[in-house]
A and B are shown apart, each in its own frame.
Chain A
C-alpha cells in the first residue's frame, strides 16, 4: 500500500491530476477519521478534510518525502483542525472547562452493552469526545497516531512542555474512565 501511495505521490507531483484524485480516494477516510477524532463533529471534520486536500494540492510539489506521505497528511490535518478549533473558540465559549468531569460513563445506563468486549473502547471513545478539545487533540495525536511531542507542539502551535502537560492531564482523565470500568465489572462479578 505504501509503495502504491508513493507511486501516486510521484505521479501527482509531476502534474498527473488523475493520480492526485486516486491519492485522495486512497487516503480520505483515514484523514477524515483523524479529523473527526480531533474535532468531534462530522461537519467540522468534513471542513477540515476539504481544507487538508486543498493544502495538499497546493503544496504537494514541496513534499520532499522525508517522512511518509500519510505522516505528512496527518500533520496537515492536525494543523487544519487546530486552526478550525482555534477559530471556533474565539467565537463561542468552550462548553467544557479543563476541570469539567468527563463524559458520563455510568455503566448502569447501558447494562447490556457492558457484556460487549468493545465496551471499554466505546467508553474511551466517548471519554475522548468529552475531553476539552485541547486535551483530546494531544492524546489523540500522541497515543493513537504516535506523533512526537515536537510534532504535536508544532502543529497545535503550543510549546513542547505545554503539550506534555496536556498529555499528562488527558491520560489521567482517561485513566479514571478505566477505573470506573473496572469497578463496574467487579461489581457485576460480585452480583453474579
Chain B
C-alpha cells in the first residue's frame, strides 16, 4: 500500500481516536510507516484546532439585535426586509410609481394631440 492511498483514508475520519475504522491494509501500513503516522497526528491536530473554534464567538455589530427584534415584532408589516433595506425598497417602489405615472401622462398627452390632429 502506498502512502498516498493511506493519506486518503486518514483525511476521512481525523476525529476517530482509534484506528479501528481503517481498513486492515491501511492499519498495517501505519504500524511501520513513520511518515503516515506523522500525517495521522497532523490530521488529528487539525481536527482539534477546528473543534476549538466552536468556542469562539464573532461579535456582530450592535445594529443586528434591534433589526432582528424589529423584523419579528408582531406588528411588523414588511417583515421580510430589514429596516435599512426596507427604506430602499419603499423608495424604489415610489420611484417606479412616479416614473410610471409620468410615462402615462406623456402617453395620454401624445395620444390626445394626435387625436386633435386627426380630428382637425
Interface size on A, as a range, is: 35 or more
CB closest chain-A residue, reference B38: A182
Provided the pairs A17-B74, A21-B69 are in contact, do residues A144 and B53 lie with their beta carbons within 8 angstroms? Answer: yes
Q: Enumerate chain B interface residues (CB-CB to A < 8 A).
A: 8, 11-12, 14-15, 42-43, 45-47, 49-54, 56-61, 64-65, 67-69, 71-74, 79-80, 82
Q: How far is the CA of A87 from the CA of B61 in the complex (A)?
A: 24
Q: Enumerate chain A interface residues (CB-CB to B < 8 A).
A: 17, 20-21, 24-25, 28-30, 32-33, 36-37, 42, 45-47, 49-50, 53-54, 57, 120-121, 124-125, 139, 143-146, 164, 168, 171-172, 174-175, 178-179, 182
CB closest chain-B residue, reference A143: B50
- Which among B12, B46, B52, B57 has the greatest number of chain A C-beta atoms within 10 A? B46
Provided the pairs A124-B50, A171-B11 are in contact, do residues A32 and B64 lie with their beta carbons within 8 angstroms? Answer: yes
Question: Is A54's CB under 8 angstroms from B72's CB?
Answer: yes
Question: Is A28's CB under 8 angstroms from B64's CB?
Answer: yes
Provided the pairs A24-B72, A36-B58 are in contact, do residues A54 and B79 lie with their beta carbons within 8 angstroms? Answer: yes
Given contacts A29-B60, A164-B12, 15 further A-B contacts (CB under 8 A): A17-B74, A28-B68, A29-B59, A32-B64, A36-B58, A46-B82, A50-B67, A54-B71, A54-B80, A124-B53, A143-B51, A171-B46, A175-B42, A178-B42, A178-B45
Which of B8, B42, B64 is the one whose CB lies under 8 Å from A179? Answer: B42
Question: Is A42's CB under 8 angstroms from B60's CB?
Answer: yes
Provided the pairs A49-B60, A50-B82, A124-B49 are in contact, do residues A145 and B54 lie with their beta carbons within 8 angstroms? Answer: yes
Question: Is A168's CB under 8 angstroms from B11's CB?
Answer: yes
A117 to chain B, nearest CB (A): 12
Q: Which residues of A sit under 8 angstroms from B42, Cβ to Cβ?
A: 175, 178-179, 182
Question: Is B58's CB under 8 angstroms from A178's CB?
Answer: no
Which of A20, A45, A57, A120 is the one whose CB lies under 8 Å from B49? Answer: A120
A146 to chain B, nearest CB (A): 8
